[in-house]
Amino acid sequence: MFQPNWIILSWIIILFFIATVAAIGSRYEFVFENDKVFDVCPDEENSNGVHDLFDISGVSFEFSEGSIHISGDLTCVWEGVEPGDRIENRIELFKLVRSSWQPTPFSMSTTNFCESFFSEKYLFYQVWSKYIVESDRQCITTYKHVFHLLPYDIDTILDYPINMEGRHKVVVHFTAFDENNQKRPNVGCFEIHGEFFRAK
């Protein structure tokens, strides 16, 4: 199995959809399309993908059968935003059908990401922010702030009630608004491409 240079954000996104539809059904595993994990958003001009938001060089991971072990730290590098900004977040899953990306029923959005980020009721908490060291817990809008992660494991194979086989992509948008509710020009956007396979 390949070893991409960073994985944590991808699992946050993928496991959101896993948790959303997990139920008794067929078991599927998500496999990344390439070892870079992240792609830029083609519709966003001058996008550097996830690297516009985070320095991900400090995160490490280890693959094992059906799970991944995550540890390390990541640094917030989203320029042009302020700690008091309101952040809107949108996550969408698309499936490749006859050479065209089609939307699926699986999506998530919030108009106040910072308010929800460390709430136990919010799904991101269960797969990411729960494992951020408590003293590091603040929003992603503080430039050069470091999130240290407690080592943890996430399952990569789970049950789905519907047929998930085929190529998919996850599209993630972060949009900041200032104290006057004016949109900041620097939009964060990245994509994750991969394929669901029926687990043996």
Please tell me the predicted confidence (pLDDT) of residue 36. Answer: 66
Parse the chain into domains and list their residue ranges.
Answer: 25-198
Closest CA to 152 of 8, 1, 10, 3: 8
Q: How confident is the model at residue 5 (pLDDT cuts 50, 70, 90)?
A: very low
Contact 95, 168 (CB under 8 A): yes
Fold of 25-198: Ganglioside M2 Activator Protein; Chain: A, (2.70.220)
Specify the amino acid at residue 18. I
pLDDT score of 3: 47
d(CA 83, CA 114): 10
Handedness of CA 19, 105, 54, 136 (dihedral sign): negative
Which pLDDT score is estimated for 178? Answer: 97
- DSSP single-letter state for residue 49: G
The predicted-structure confidence for 77-107, as pLDDT tens digits, reads as follows 999 999 999 999 999 999 999 999 999 988 8
- Place 120 in a pLDDT band, splitting at 50, 70 and 90: confident
Q: Using CA atoms, how far apart are residues 178 and 159, in angstroms rounded to an integer? A: 41
E strands of the chain, at which residues? 26-32, 38-39, 54-55, 59-64, 67-76, 86-97, 100-110, 146-155, 157-160, 166-177, 188-198
Lowest mean pLDDT among 1-15, 89-103, 173-187: 1-15
**Token representation of residue 167:** 């190529």
Mean per-residue pLDDT, 5-31: 60
Helices (H), 23-148: 113-116, 123-127
**How far is Cα 110 from Cα 52, in angstroms, rounded to an integer?**
20
Q: Is pLDDT of 75 > 70? A: yes
Q: DSSP 3-state assignment of 132? A: strand
Q: Return the residue matching tokens 């990344």.
A: 32
